[in-house]
Amino acid sequence: MIRFFLIMITYKYNLLKDLQIQLEVLLHWRELKKFNVPVYYPNPWETLKLIFIRPKIDYQCDKDITCYWKSAGTGGSYFPPDEIYVCPREKSYTVEEIVKHEIIHLEHEHEVQGMTHEEKEAYVISKENTW
């Protein structure tokens, strides 16, 4: 018997996950603002827009990852082992650039334990350049 395994990035929108993220953003707003990166405040209009209009992306790689769209928070975030969240309100980077960046975070998470947020970012950016 031949089995085919489809390894790929799945792009999804899940309202419950988006609302969870929005709650986290509200609860941790002050800490998030300390990271010196844009953070988008929860906004029902942005949520509604995302329900109907998903970003266009066809980026793929040979990794089993689920990418959820989110309407608030930082441009990107990641949850090991295989989930990333991307906020299309971030305009300094394309959604594809954010997806790639968050995947590198997932892959190197074990190497950055104990590092500060800034150190993690510097480490991931150094890996981005060798991709």
Residues that bind Zn ion in the complex, under the rule CB under 5 A: 121
Encoded amino acid at 115, one letter: M
Q: Is 64 or 119 the residue whose CB approaches Zn ion more closely?
A: 119
At closest approach, how far in Å is the CB of 108 from Zn ion? 10
Nearest residue (beta carbon) to Zn ion = 121
Q: Is 47 or 66 the residue whose CB approaches Zn ion more closely?
A: 66
* Torsion sign across C-alpha atoms 90, 65, 21, 78: negative
Interatomic CA distance for residues 84 and 73, integer angstroms:
13
71 CB contacts (<8 Å, ≥6 apart)? 18, 21, 22, 40, 42, 43, 46, 47, 49, 50, 87, 89
At closest approach, how far in Å is the CB of 98 from Zn ion? 9
Q: Is 19 or 82 the residue whose CB approaches Zn ion more closely?
A: 82
Encoded amino acid at 104, one letter: I
Q: Is 24 or 121 the residue whose CB approaches Zn ion more closely?
A: 121
Are the C-beta atoms of residues 96 and 89 closer than 8 Å to each other?
no
At closest approach, how far in Å is the CB of 101 from Zn ion? 5
At closest approach, how far in Å is the CB of 125 from Zn ion? 8
